């Protein structure tokens, strides 16, 4: 695990997320505590549980982005679930343990990719030999040096000697590594799974059963090979992937993935306020409280059975989030409240924040649109007053309609650049400047009509 200090973690998050220093500090300490826990003695290590976090704030203020960037920084498996989806099928809803199973699946992918990188050099060597066999069909260095010619009595050679074969192979190897053969075609056999289409219906709480049945049937049907005529460059990549897959030990991958999930996994439970019970357990409130009680053992620490083996959730970090416009964190059942000791409130975003969001982060919206238009050889230039006007418009529409935070900027930018995006292929080699007047003229009618702005923006 990365051993960033809390200050370094906050600094990294600042590159992508504007403001929300309280939330950044909370997640930075939570991540650092994971590293600290690994340094303590083994008997005490298991006793230290993660300090789960509840983020309180309106939609679009950066709750999900903070959690996602944190997971990327920690190189940890991360999954986001909506608590409200567990109420969709009455009281039981979808099996809450599925969030852990999905997290393990992500960890398997991460570990398999990492292990494949370790064996890539060997896989490339083996793939290269197989590719040379395809380019140079026939005997492969089987003749001894002294059997260069098999004389039939008339002095004419009947087969190529091993020295000549080796020279030809080495020459092809050099050309292959230089990329000179990438456009040549070879015939390659690829495997295809011959499984008939089928739909497996399973009861709530048994989602993995459907996957296992499909895998079981998949093993029953023989693998079908298909000969394809493809370019050397593409064949090389296919062969490298095939050889890497053979070299990776999947039993080891599964064990490492389970450990990664248990020690570094992060589960982000959004819309936790939607399952908060408010009126003493009447009607739909029963379902909400039932979901909380289903989530509770996962957060407290339990063992979940997955198809890769049992996974303990004791040290998975849970980050819950919700707007809490109607409900309050205290409306959650006491046991669940106690499992989220850290609570941080995120600030609402205003006009000044929108200006920074448009320009400062590495993935700023302005940079994104400029990069998109650059693919059409079109230079898009935003003046400072244009950015200020976009921010002002977003803040105004958020006040008039629902406050959806920074997501409003996406809607406004799309509407503003709709015509330019459409005409871009015919406007190549040009520079288009967006100023405040153009922003006003493009959005004035929509913003001025409140009903229209609710509908369009």
Q: Supply the pLDDT for residue 198.
A: 53
3-class SS of residue 162: helix
Residue 160 reports pLDDT greater than 60: no
Distance (Å, rounded) from C-alpha 58 to C-alpha 52? 20
Q: Are 99 and 89 in contact (CB under 8 A)?
A: no
Q: Supply the pLDDT for residue 152.
A: 44
DSSP states of 256-321: HHHHHHHHH-EEEEE-GGGG---SSS-THHHHHHHHHHHHHHHHH--EEEETTEEEE-TT-EEEEE
The Cα angle at residue 186 between residues 182 and 192, in degrees rounded to 5: 115
Residue 142 reports pLDDT greater than 50: no
Mean predicted lDDT score pLDDT of the chain:
81
Stated pTM of the model: 0.78
Residue 318 reports pLDDT greater than 90: yes
CA distances, 191 to each of 186, 194, 228, 242 (Å)? 16, 9, 10, 10
Strands 309-312 and 430-434: unpaired
Task: Go through the domains of the chain in sequence order and give each one's CATH number.
Answer: 6-114+260-345 (3.40.50.300), 120-247 (no CATH), 351-456 (1.10.8.60)
Q: Supply the pLDDT for residue 375.
A: 92
Q: At what angle do helices 407-416 and 365-374 cross, to 10 degrees?
A: 30
Torsion angle of C-alpha atoms 301, 270, 356, 9, degrees rounded to 10: 10
Closest CA to 348 of 413, 411, 394, 410: 394
Name the band, by pLDDT with cuts 50, 70 and 90, for residue 189.
confident
Candidate ranges 58-62, 92-96, 153-157; pick with highest mean pLDDT: 58-62
Name the band, by pLDDT with cuts 50, 70 and 90, for residue 241.
confident
Residue 281 reports pLDDT greater than 60: no
Give the residue, 55 or 401, on which the prediction is more confident: 55
Please report where in the chains the tokens 């590719």 appear, as a residue.
Answer: 131
Closest CA to 205 of 105, 305, 72, 339: 305
Residue 327 reports pLDDT greater than 90: no
3-class SS of residue 72: helix
Mean pLDDT of 317-345: 89
Q: Are 32 and 5 in contact (CB under 8 A)?
A: yes
Mean pLDDT of 416-432: 88
Element (H, E) at 231: strand 223-231
Mean pLDDT of 307-321: 92
pLDDT, tens digit (0-9, with 9 covering 90-100), for 164-185: 767 777 777 777 777 777 777 7
Name the band, by pLDDT with cuts 50, 70 and 90, for residue 288.
confident
Name the band, by pLDDT with cuts 50, 70 and 90, for residue 284.
low
Residue 360 reports pLDDT greater than 60: yes
Name the band, by pLDDT with cuts 50, 70 and 90, for residue 225.
confident
Q: Is the dihedral of CA 39, 45, 48, 51 positive or negative?
A: positive
258 half-sphere exposure, CB direction, 13 A CA radius? 15
Element (H, E) at 456: helix 450-456
């Amino acid at each position: 695990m990365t051993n960033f200090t809390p200050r370094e973690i906050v600094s990294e998050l600042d590159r992508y997320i504007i403001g929300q220093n309280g939330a950044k500090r909370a997640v930075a300490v939570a991540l650092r505590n994971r590293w600290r826990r690994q340094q303590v003695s083994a008997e005490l290590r298991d006793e230290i549980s993660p300090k789960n976090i509840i983020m309180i704030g309106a939609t679009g203020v950066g709750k999900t982005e903070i959690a996602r960037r944190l997971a990327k920084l920690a190189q940890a498996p991360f999954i986001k679930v909506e608590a409200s989806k567990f109420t969709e099928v009455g009281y039981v809803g979808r099996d809450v343990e599925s969030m852990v199973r999905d997290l393990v699946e992500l960890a398997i992918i991460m570990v398999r990719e990492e292990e494949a990188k370790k064996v890539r050099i060997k896989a490339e060597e083996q793939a290269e030999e197989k590719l040379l066999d395809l380019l140079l069909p026939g005997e492969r260095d089987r003749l001894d040096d002294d059997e260069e010619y098999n004389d039939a009595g008339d002095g004419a050679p009947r087969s190529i000697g091993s020295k000549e074969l080796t020279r030809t192979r080495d020459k092809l190897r050099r050309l292959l590594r230089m990329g000179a053969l990438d456009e040549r075609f070879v015939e390659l056999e690829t495997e295809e799974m011959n499984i008939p289409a089928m739909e497996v219906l399973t009861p709530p709480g048994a989602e993995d059963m459907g996957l296992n049945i499909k895998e079981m049937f998949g093993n029953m049907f023989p693998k079908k090979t298909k000969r394809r005529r493809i370019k050397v460059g593409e064949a090389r990549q296919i062969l490298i992937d095939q050889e890497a897959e053979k070299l990776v030990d999947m039993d080891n991958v599964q064990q490492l993935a389970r450990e990664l999930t248990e020690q570094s996994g992060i589960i982000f439970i959004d819309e936790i306020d939607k399952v908060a019970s408010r009126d003493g357990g009447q009607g739909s409130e029963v379902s909400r409280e039932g979901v909380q009680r289903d989530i509770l053992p996962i957060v407290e620490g339990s063992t979940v059975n997955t198809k890769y083996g049992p996974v303990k959730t004791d040290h998975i970090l849970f980050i819950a989030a919700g707007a809490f416009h109607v409900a309050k964190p205290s409306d959650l059942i006491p046991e669940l409240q106690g499992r989220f000791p850290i609570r941080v409130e995120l600030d609402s975003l205003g006009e000044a924040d929108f200006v920074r969001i448009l320009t400062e982060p590495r993935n700023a919206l302005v940079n994104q649109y400029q990069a998109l238009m650059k693919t059409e050889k079109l230079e898009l230039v935003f003046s400072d007053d244009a950015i200020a006007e976009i921010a002002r418009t977003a803040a105004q529409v958020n006040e008039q309609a629902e406050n959806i935070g920074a997501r409003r900027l996406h809607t406004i930018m799309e509407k503003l650049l709709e015509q330019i995006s459409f005409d871009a292929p015919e406007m190549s080699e040009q520079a288009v400047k967006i100023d405040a007047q153009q922003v006003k003229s493009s959005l004035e009618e929509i913003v001025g009509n409140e009903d229209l702005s609710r509908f369009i923006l």
